[in-house]
Amino acid sequence: MTGAVPARPPRVAVAGVPFDPVTERQAVERVAAALGAGEGGHLVTPNVDICRAVARDPALKELVSGADLVVADGMPLVWASRLLREALPERVTGADLIWSLSAMAARGGWPVYLLGGPPGVAARAEWELANRCHGLRVCGVDAPPYGFDRSDEGVARVREQLVAARPAIVFVGLGFPLQDRLIAGLRPELPRTWFVGCGSAIAFAAGSVARAPLWMRRSGTEWLFRLASEPGRLARRYLVDDVPFATRLLTRSLLLRR
């Protein structure tokens, strides 16, 4: 599968983050075209929580802005873009991309690698992905222990295993900003590889974390499903941090529209 990499349309700024106005299908096509041309890249999927972190830290904003493909994983971001009359076409999640990119990789004969998740989860995700994406080759899985990034030896072990596997696509599910900082350090070692910062997508693919029904994902209420599923972990993040941030974002966008 080869072809020229399509020209990138102008980015759309929402909550101070520059997003690529692409659908999930267009994102997959862009990655496929780049792989066909021998080019690697970094795909990041900011949600409301990531945008909130980026707003407080210029270094994180630079990290996200420097990615080759930035897609909006949050309906409030899509709604805000519509209020600003620079509409992002749809929400594009890491939890969906892990399936659509794996299907594309299976068709193109490109091996993928799963990095992240609790012990055993990545191996389960490997089985699920290979079972549904016929012909997919998963060339490695790795679940580094908590705190591995605090030592040179821990990072070196992750790098050595990854470089030895030579994947075309790496799904990195370690949470933001750890996963994307790690990607920035790994890219020079694998310049023809696409790295996808995908958060909990590996756990979703494995089935160890349940996803909301489709209607909740489309209506922007998936966060309520996740809150009900993991209240102890997510209550403060959603109710204290993210909902007020999203409310302020939508209010500002409405005022700017008027």
Residue 66 lies in a domain: yes
Question: Is residue 251 assigned to a domain?
Answer: no
Q: Is 22 inside a domain boundary?
A: yes
In which residue are the tokens 């989860």 written?
121
Burial of 227 (0-12, 13-18, 19+ CB in 10 A): middle
- Full-model pTM: 0.94
Q: Rg of the chain's alpha carbons, rounded to an integer?
A: 18
Positive or negative torsion for Cα 196, 199, 203, 205:
negative
CATH of residue 106's domain is 3.40.50
DSSP secondary structure letter of residue 7: P
Domains identified in the chain, total number: 1
Residue 6 forms part of a structural domain: no
Question: 51 is in which domain, residue-wise?
Answer: 12-206
Residue 233 lies in a domain: no
**Residue 196: both structure tokens together:** 């996808």
Residue 90 lies in a domain: yes
User: Which tens digits make up the pLDDT trace of 55-97?
Assistant: 999 999 999 999 999 999 999 999 999 999 889 999 999 999 9
| Domain assignment of residue 218, yes or no | no
Q: Is residue 146 part of a domain?
A: yes
The first and second tokens of residue 225, run together, are 């499903």
pLDDT, tens digit (0-9, with 9 covering 90-100), for 120-160: 999 999 999 999 999 999 999 999 999 999 999 999 999 99
Residue 7 clears pLDDT 80, i.e. is over it: no
